[in-house]
Structure 1
Amino acid sequence: MRRRGGALKIVKELDAFTKVPEDYQRTTASGGTFSIISISAILILVFSEFLYYRSTVMKYEYSVDVDMLSSLELEVDMTIAMSCQYLGADIVDLAGESVPSNFLTMADTTFELSNEQKQWFETRNAVLSSIKDYRSLNDLVMLESITSTPFPQTDMSDGSTDSCRLVGKTSLKKVAGNFHITAGKSITHARGHSHLNAFIPLDAYNFSHRIDKFAFGASVPGSINPLDGTLYVTDERARIFQYFMQVVPTEYETLSRHQKTHQYSVTDRIRTLDHSKGSHGVPGIFFKYDLSAVSVKIVEERRPFWQFLVRLCGIVGGVFATSGMIHLLVGAVFDLFGKKNQTTQDTSNSQ
């Protein structure tokens, strides 16, 4: 028992840090003020650091796309200002294979927008125009609820129709292709396919169109389909609309989700056909897509816990050290001015 008590006494008396005797310590109002300010600053910084640690970062990895076995998922929802009986749609890829239009559902509708649909378009265009102000995927994630809101459909209870709505999904090979919508139903023959449009009157042509959705693959947070919300209205009968798209394979991996999809960029060209002026072609809407050789992988990661601990130690130690130096500096300044005032008073009294 003595040995044990002696060991405890030695441990209690052992102290690597020299302590100032309590008789030499003096509490002041300035010291208490600096202590309160320091503790408050530490609490605020620790809380902000915890929020920073809880947030995630997005890392972008680029590599050559070697996955040629997967498919390219195409989803279309658009309306054209022509009757469905006059329209035909096909997909022809670079290998010469044709995908018939039976994946599309064509339904008569009206082209005039309701107030709710106009509001949807205005909101959508406002969101797309503001994207240039964002620089990271974290900023775009909050726009997902807006950009993924489906287009409000037209009420057809009155039976009035002047347009055709095309909706459908299909799987394509990962090669360049051309999805086109022209006048006349398509027929397949040995040399490819043709569109029967010889008996369609010219006044029936009107390729004014509205694209509610045009996507290659599943939607992921922050992904924007540039053609969604596109609206073109024209009075020209013989007009061609061409969209040139670059499709990029994208892998999106977050803490709770893993999704493979495709994003794309697009440029458009619109012209009126006039054979007398050398502007040849077939009136219609053409989506020409090509696959990028580079794939993008977006990975969401948390910051390491050891980094969080190191930053906390830096905050606590830095605030205490800085506040101590400021306190000493302020005290020295006050003491200096106090001594000068005291010297001045003593001089005036002696005179």
Structure 2
Amino acid sequence: MSLLSSNTTIRHRRPTVQEVVRDFDAFNKTVDEVSEEKRAAGGFLASLSFLIIAALVFGELRNYFYGDEGHYYRFSVDTAFSEHPELELDMIVATPCTNLMAHLTGTTSHEFSSMNEFKHDPTRFEFTEKEAMYWNELKKVQHRTKEGTTLFKSLDEMTFISGQVEEGLKNEAETKQREEAHAIQLEKKKNPKESMDGGMLILIGNGFNVFHVVASNSEKNEGTACRIHGRMRVNKVKGDSFVVSTGKGLGVDGIFAHFGGVSNPGNLSHRIERFNFGPTIYGLVTPLAGIEQISETGIDEFRYFLKVVPTRIYHSGLFGGSTLTYQYSVTFMKKTPKKDVHKHAAIVIHYEFAATVIEVRRIQSSLLQMLIRLCSAVGGVFATSVLLNSICVRVLTVLAGVSERAKIRLIDSQLGIEQPGVVVDT
């Protein structure tokens, strides 16, 4: 007789969500009562994995926030012909200021005002003790810069020097300048009737052999050397030159007498501490910084040919923007005229701006890329540690089995030796 009546229906219980998810789980599960034996090798691998993960995470975060960034370089046509970059100069010539003439050729004169001129101050050509130390440091860096020199340098190839050296040279130059000015004042008091007809003229040429006076200082005494320094705006034209030559300042009406051969002897031995275009980048060693040339004859002609390339550096971040700077290469030539040839000693710095501009943009990983690298590194370490742990467990298991079998055979052999005459009847 059936236990269920004919009108009884069987109702199936609806499966829970947990049971449905468990049915889809394809991974093998261990029973709660079964626990895996902990091994020293597994603990060592786990500790080593956590140390490696911590080191990788720290390295990735440090590289993201403080690491060296890459840069993307692109050449394009320079269309900013109307810009007037500043030429910054700081040099010492071993000739009194009143026996020097300095001028720019090939530049239109209407771009300049009375405030846009180089300063010229009496000084001494000899080094002070501190100045010699700073200068030797600058020359060492300049020597390293010349090794493998190329026209275009990436940002990470540019050479910088300690700001202490740069400031030290400037401070020592100003100290010598003040000491020389004080000595000149004392000399004026001793000889108040001394003639003051000499002077230094800074001229601007417009390319048609017409020169315009930018600065004249015939009231200054000579001193023993002349420091030419300051900033001046120049045009981005082809074929400009900055010329420093020996010659007595004769006033505006007698300027061309200098070019006719009237000159006083002078020595154009010189040192260049700074020569760069554009905004000041403190610590940057340019090709002419740390250059020293000595004229043994006193009538040598020094020529520097500069190829200037505008470089625009774009900044990333919230405000962005860009900085326009200039890098250049130098070709040097020294001429010593023959004895029977009349020629003025001169320092000619010829510079030419390139028609191209280098655009530099920073390459920085995004936050998403950094997180992906972190996840891949952590996952790779975990996967490798699991694989190594499985191999170690397998090897240890095999070794343990071999050891157990060896012990059993040893026990069996010992039992056989102790009872050699025992025969078991069946």
TM-score range (shorter-chain normalised) is 0.7 to 0.9
Q: Which has the larger displacement, 30-39 or 144-153?
A: 144-153
Would you say 1:68 and 2:78 are equivalent positions? no
Aligned partners of 1:73 and 1:171 also within 8 Å: yes
**Secondary structure at the counterpart of residue 103 of structure 1:** coil
Q: Indicate the residue corresponding to 1:27 in structure 2.
A: 38
Deviations 1:227-272 (A, max 9, x none): 1122222321110111010001111223476321222111211121
Q: TM-score, normalised by structure 1?
A: 0.83
User: Which residue among 402, 406, 409 is the counterpart of 1:340?
Assistant: 402
Q: Indicate the residue corresponding to 2:241 in structure 1.
A: 178
Give the aligned residue type for 1:183.
T
Q: 1:221 to 1:50 in 2, by over 3 A?
A: farther
Q: Indicate the residue corresponding to 2:170 in structure 1.
A: 151
User: Which residue among 205, 216, 235 is the counterpart of 2:296?
Assistant: 235
Q: Indicate the residue corresponding to 2:57 in structure 1.
A: 46
Q: Indicate the residue corresponding to 1:128 in structure 2.
A: 142
Deviations 1:33-65 (A, max 9, x none): 211111111011011011111233322222121
Q: Which has the larger displacement, 219-228 or 70-79?
A: 219-228
Q: 1:221 to 1:111 in 2, by over 3 A?
A: closer
Would you say 1:10 and 2:36 are equivalent positions? no
Distance 1:17 1:183 in 2: 94
Q: Which has the larger displacement, 159-168 or 30-39?
A: 159-168
Instruction: Report the aligned-residue RMSD.
Output: 3.5
Q: Indicate the residue corresponding to 2:204 in structure 1.
A: none
Give the aligned residue type for 1:162.
T
Would you say 1:213 and 2:289 are equivalent positions? no
User: Which residue among 123, 126, 133 is the counterpart of 1:109?
Assistant: 123
Deviations 1:293-349 (A, max 9, x none): 221122234211111011011011100001111122222233333333333343344
Aligned partners of 1:91 and 1:98 also within 8 Å: no
Give the aligned residue type for 2:49.
S
Distance 2:296 2:360 in 1: 44
**Between the two proteins, what is the percent identity of the paired residues?**
25
Aligned partners of 2:138 and 2:161 also within 8 Å: no
Would you say 1:266 and 2:327 are equivalent positions? no
User: Which residue among 99, 114, 118 is the counterpart of 1:86?
Assistant: 99
Q: 1:293 to 1:271 in 2, by over 3 A?
A: same
Q: Indicate the residue corresponding to 1:289 in structure 2.
A: 351
Distance 1:218 1:201 in 2: 37
Give the aligned residue type for 2:315.
T
Q: Indicate the residue corresponding to 1:245 in structure 2.
A: 306
**Aligned residue-pair number:** 339
Aligned partners of 2:64 and 2:370 also within 8 Å: yes
Q: Indicate the residue corresponding to 1:3 in structure 2.
A: none
**Secondary structure at the counterpart of residue 195 of structure 1:** helix
Would you say 1:162 and 2:208 are equivalent positions? no
Structure 1's unaligned 5+ residue stretches are 1-5
Q: Which has the larger displacement, 150-159 or 246-255?
A: 150-159
Give the aligned residue type for 1:64.
V
Distance 1:147 1:63 in 2: 36
Give the aligned residue type for 1:26.
E
Give the aligned residue type for 2:309.
V
Distance 2:308 2:93 in 1: 24
Deviations 1:73-112 (A, max 9, x none): 2111111010111100111127899989981222111111
As a proportion of its length, which structure holds more strand?
A: 1
Q: Indicate the residue corresponding to 1:137 in structure 2.
A: 155
Q: 1:270 to 1:285 in 2, by over 3 A?
A: same
Aligned partners of 1:186 and 1:196 also within 8 Å: no
Q: 1:107 to 1:42 in 2, by over 3 A?
A: same
Q: Indicate the residue corresponding to 2:388 in structure 1.
A: 326
Aligned partners of 1:88 and 1:186 also within 8 Å: no
Deviations 1:102-125 (A, max 9, x none): 812221111111111111112212
**Secondary structure at the counterpart of residue 394 of structure 2:** helix
Aligned partners of 2:107 and 2:235 also within 8 Å: no
**Secondary structure at the counterpart of residue 183 of structure 2:** coil
Q: 1:188 to 1:62 in 2, by over 3 A?
A: farther
Q: 1:168 to 1:327 in 2, by over 3 A?
A: same
